[in-house]
Structure 1
């Protein structure tokens, strides 16, 4: 609470008091399954709390989920949801410090909760800073603090962090609030669909970013990269209806982060894929072991660079810019940055038109696929990826088996085309070793990759036939094939 941004705006003295909360659930995790927890504070009655948004409306990361709105509250309401007796699983002992601030954009209250999170067999320090007040005033204070402090919107409620501590100790990550692609089912308008998608994907990124560590394995980097690509796809998808300087700046930040993510993910895929498969096929060899060590060194360097990026101010700015866009909806204020009629209309019409356009482009790109060069197959893979991101985004608006079948065929095509592309990627990665691996080993791995191209190309042709014959799931399949 001594940061210059707070000290300069301080109004009065800091108020501070010791406090504690205990969280309860039954042994089956009945409340957790509904995104709830029973919270028993040191003072006052117990109450049911949401630990995750209920999914009925767009949600902004960093803001509290809507209050529990079931019948009753506290112990009585929990009893109706529990399958057994409520038992404590974690507690938080902390000091609550509250400071009133006066800023040019309006008053802000800063509340710092700092203490220790405890479970039966583990404990760790924890802190949360809550800012409340007018939108612009809160965003302004948050931006000033995040410029030089490691502050990010919480990736999980404190109760969920306590549940993770009880489940697996201090190194266990909390459950994600969101995963995978956004679900736009129930979005009343196109603008609500945009807000849902951006909020969902920002939250996925905030959850995965702390997991992008070498010791945590490759999954965090993979999921962060997928969420980032999906978010960039969302911004491009909705550009005809919502655009402008703020969204353009957010996309630029995402693109810069993608450049840091790419090498870490590429080396992970290489080491877990081609390098491992080549070693299994060719047997133990010191030259292959030397190549692997050189590739691991490159991967470690890429991870270190990525970690610096995620721990630095650029990622914090990216997160706050995304949250600011969700709260301010700047496309409504910038001249010619929004199509108001489209934003206020149902999503299905916009989605169907966009999917028609991408479907035609994909089918045109696949014409004569048997004669495609590697470059043409690479371009087709990118078109398939764009089609899949758009299709999985809008599929919940229609749902059903047709949508699931269409997405499954697209995913299989993209995977087959990706295998064809592996030889090119491997060649680039091997050249990046700069002679750090024996030539025989590099040649063996490159040859192993090249040997996979023929079967993978044949598989891609078969998968293309499946996709080209697919019946589309939008607009009654008006543009469907065969």
Structure 2
């Protein structure tokens, strides 16, 4: 999971502490944050009026930001007359909370010196630096109002931070709330965050202060691609569900962070992929454990992914359909006008995507995922028979699921040559579900040549069906771009549609070939 041991836990008499720093950030306008702090949800739980501190911090890294790439931050902070050196490391934890290991040491100087850090932290910093020098990269000046809260037996700290983040002459203001779990159950932390999101219009923030500072330096937040869950054949079904859903939650959260840093073509794509993958995973989980929570999560993921669909469709049109047509245009069609219209539509679509990702629905989905994982709430609404299955081995349920999906694909693929478009679309969706299931559950079965052959055949079928679907969607997109347009634009769209249609025959042959290959491979489960 990580190179470092967990730091020693903080303790509060009578309350079990968490082993790591676990927090949720909330962002919003200064007025919304002030209203949240004055709300009964906070005032009724506060131990006192809190304390105010002025915090000045410098974050250090190598010129190429190699500490950051290793998931480490190295900070020296001044609070009053005290200097504290802190190293934090991002952790891959099942609940997908913003969990970080944290090490601190009091120091005499504001100059960085890894030798003064706790041994594990010093070793990790030296290893990541590999001899590179440290430089001051980001500076923050923060006014913090910290309030301790008693929430149903848990101890939380609310820190209201406002101030400035600066790097190389650039700066940005900061207004945020950090809710940190000091002791007790994480469900209380999540519950309070949900309350503040719903009643005060706050949103979950995914970027740390250091990340926002590095963004000023032009160092963006990387996109996150799907991970294969770390399943074990000996796992119980309940643990396997938590592992699979946790991986999906990290996939979504990582790309929401990348989207917060800035929308680009690949960010839109991977964020949408993570949301659609979540929806498919929830659908698969419902087949194993038919709990209502999976439908709710799937519906929320579907709605948010839908808000990104228009932006993604135009991205694909500009990068693939239009770009590949232009170099082969023997008819001298002028695509400039069509491209200009598409780019204007893309700007509008990106504005819509930005509004959706900054709105309450994204925060609700993130917090709902955390709550589901922390409480394992799929257990709550299951009938006794299905509930008892959660204690059975996951491999058996996984084999049953894969078998049902594979039979469904074969059934829907009958008479493939004459399959009408709606049924062809249903086949593509079922193939995609089976592909997700194979990728998610493969670790429950011993690796073999059978698994690789099955994956390759299934991936080839999905790709061929996907190309056919892209071709079918193109006319609808062109119609939306050229309705009421000048004749030159309509002519360019018609030419492009015809140019794309010329590949349909080859695509159809690829589908039939991929289908024969898929039918010939043996199941690996």
Structure-1-length-normalised TM-score: 0.83
Q: Does the CA contact (< 8 Å) of 2:76 and 2:85 recur in 1?
A: yes
Q: Say whether 1:416 aligns with 2:464.
A: yes
1:152 maps to which residue? 204
Moved more, 97-106 or 453-462: 97-106
Residue of 433, 454, 465 corresponding to 1:386: 433
Q: Count the aligned residue pairs.
A: 463
Superposition CA RMSD, Å: 3.4
Distance 2:251 2:376 in 1: 20
Distance 2:205 2:242 in 1: 17
1:90 maps to which residue? 137
Residue of 363, 367, 370 corresponding to 1:320: 367
Q: Say whether 1:173 aligns with 2:225.
A: no
Distance 1:159 1:215 in 2: 16
1:17 maps to which residue? 53
Moved more, 119-128 or 144-153: 119-128
SS at match of 2:353: helix
Return closer, same or farther for 1:219/1:29 CA change in 2, 3 Å cut-off. Answer: closer
Return closer, same or farther for 1:39/1:210 CA change in 2, 3 Å cut-off. Answer: closer
2:308 maps to which residue? 261
Distance 1:460 1:394 in 2: 25
Which structure 1 residue ranges, 5 or more long, are not aligned? Answer: 476-482
2:496 maps to which residue? 445
Distance 1:408 1:6 in 2: 57
1:479 maps to which residue? none
Return closer, same or farther for 1:468/1:66 CA change in 2, 3 Å cut-off. Answer: farther
Report the CA distance between 1:82 and its aligned residue. Answer: 5.4
> Residue by residue, what CA displacement relative to the aligned partner does 1:147-174 show, whole Å, maximum 9, x if unpaired?
34442142x5544555x44xxx444322
Q: Does the CA contact (< 8 Å) of 1:351 and 1:394 recur in 2?
A: yes
SS at match of 1:19: strand
Moved more, 255-264 or 207-216: 207-216
Moved more, 278-287 or 108-117: 278-287
Residue of 139, 148, 162 corresponding to 1:100: 148
Which structure 2 residue ranges, 5 or more long, are not aligned? Answer: 1-32, 104-117
Distance 2:130 2:406 in 1: 48
1:365 maps to which residue? 412
1:458 maps to which residue? 509
Q: Does the CA contact (< 8 Å) of 1:48 and 1:77 recur in 2?
A: no
Report the CA distance between 1:202 and its aligned residue. Answer: 2.8
Q: Say whether 1:204 aligns with 2:258.
A: no
Report the CA distance between 1:457 and its aligned residue. Answer: 0.8
Q: Does the CA contact (< 8 Å) of 1:213 and 1:303 recur in 2?
A: no
Matches within 5 A, 1:238-317: 238-282=285-329, 288-317=335-364
Distance 1:64 1:213 in 2: 19
Report the CA distance between 1:431 and its aligned residue. Answer: 2.3
Distance 1:77 1:449 in 2: 53
Moved more, 341-350 or 438-447: 341-350
Distance 2:502 2:400 in 1: 41
Report the CA distance between 1:115 and its aligned residue. Answer: 3.7
